[in-house]
Amino acid sequence: MLEIKKIYHYYGKAKALEEISLKIEEKALDAVIGPNGAGKSTLLRVISGLEEPDRGKIEFLGERIDKLKAHKITKKGISHCPERRRLFFDMSVADNLKMGAYPVKNKEVYKAMKNFVYELFPRLNERRKQRAGTLSGGEQQMLAIARALMSKPKLLLLDEPSLGLAPKIKKRIFDVIEKIKQEGTTTLLVEQDAVLAMDIAENIHLLEEGKIEMRGTKKELEKEPRIKQVYLGI
Ligand SMILES: Nc1ncnc2c1ncn2[C@@H]1O[C@H](COP(=O)(O)OP(=O)(O)O)[C@@H](O)[C@H]1O
Ligand SMILES: [Mg+2]
């Protein structure tokens, strides 16, 4: 579904991504793990068109997208849930969801997606009229994911959905990510919490200093001494 071929990205002279190749199959849940500053967010930004890669190609459903502007890429079915919950804090939960649905022109689809996300996050349903800025951290993260889902994406990009949340809330968010996957949405998850990511992802890609250093299934990576030591703490 998504094929990234040898992309490079620089911020000025600083290399953020180096020869990244990555393939995501339809309906898969893949995770990119790696430490702070590894380039994880940059990778998602390059996919969703917020940054243009300096070299390489990105194909989505067989079509090149790496030169397209972000809003065009959204229309093709890629939705990016960015880091640190860029919500509209002064707007209500319901209005935030409406903003997320802007690529959706069909009213029936909009209604169906609204019902779907409220079912997924009953808490948001209870707080439809509440201002996003007054939600708890966990609820804001739920709203960010819900908003990203409103465009009925074919591919969902999630940037560190568990960042700064308590373990119990993290678990709840990850349960929802698993459910989204079961509903058939292809997902690329970026996550520093390797334990959580490896638990739900089918394929895990380790990104360090802008390069993919290792990849495989949980079973394969669990055996790697370096993964155990550095990322799983066992
Ligand atoms: N807008 C930017 N301008 C310059 N450098 C940036 C910018 N965004 C990120 N970087 C740098 O690129 C590298 C990768 O950052 P990032 O993709 O945010 O990593 P991660 O999400 O894995 O923490 C870091 O060294 C970071 O400082
Ligand atoms: Mg990041």
Enumerate the domain spans of the chain.
2-232
Which ligand 1 atom minimizes the distance to the CA of 34?
A: 22
Q: Which among 210, 191, 182, 222 has a CA at the least distance from the CA of 29?
A: 182
What are the pLDDT tens digits along the chain (234 aa)?
Answer: 999 999 999 999 999 999 999 999 999 999 999 999 999 999 999 999 999 999 999 999 999 999 999 999 999 999 999 876 689 999 999 999 999 998 888 889 899 999 999 999 999 999 999 999 999 999 999 999 999 999 999 999 999 998 888 899 899 899 999 999 998 999 999 999 999 999 999 999 999 999 999 999 999 999 998 888 888 877
C-alpha to C-alpha distance for 14 and 40, rounded to whole angstroms: 15
Q: Which pair of structure tokens corresponds to residue 190?
A: 């970026």
Q: How far is the CA of 230 from the centre of ligand 1 (A)?
A: 21
Classify 59 in phi/psi space as left (phi over 0), alpha (psi -120 to 50) or beta. beta
Which residue from 15, 41, 48, 211 has its CB within 8 A of the most atoms of ligand 1, so it is best to mutate? 41
What per-residue confidence (pLDDT) applies to 133? 95
Is the CB of residue 42 below 6 angstroms from any atom belonging to ligand 1?
A: yes
Ligand closest to 82 (CA) is: 2
What per-residue confidence (pLDDT) applies to 105? 81
Per DSSP, helices labelled H in the chain are 40-47, 70-76, 93-100, 107-120, 122-126, 137-149, 167-182, 194-200, 218-222, 225-226
What per-residue confidence (pLDDT) applies to 229? 85
DSSP letters, 89-126, are TTSBHHHHHHHHTTT---HHHHHHHHHHHHHH-HHHHH
Which ligand 1 atom minimizes the distance to the CA of 38?
A: 22
Q: How far is the CA of 44 from the centre of ligand 2 (A)?
A: 9
Which ligand 1 atom minimizes the distance to the CA of 207?
A: 22
Domain 2-232 in this protein, CATH class = alpha beta
Total-model pTM = 0.94
- C-alpha distances in Å from residue 221, one per residue of 64, 74, 203, 225, 226: 31, 32, 10, 9, 9
What per-residue confidence (pLDDT) applies to 92? 97
Is the CB of residue 225 below 6 angstroms from any atom belonging to ligand 1?
A: no
Is the CB of residue 13 below 6 angstroms from any atom belonging to ligand 1?
A: no
What per-residue confidence (pLDDT) applies to 109? 87
Is the CB of residue 38 below 6 angstroms from any atom belonging to ligand 1?
A: yes
Which residue from 8, 11, 45, 163 has its CB within 8 A of the most atoms of ligand 1, so it is best to mutate? 11
State the burial class of residue 36 (Cβ atoms within 10 Å of its Cβ: 0-12, 13-18, 19+). exposed
Please give all residues whose CB falls under 5 A of ion ligand 2, grouped by chain where several chains appear: 40-41
CA-closest residue to ligand 1 atom 24: 37
Is the CB of residue 20 below 6 angstroms from any atom belonging to ligand 1?
A: no
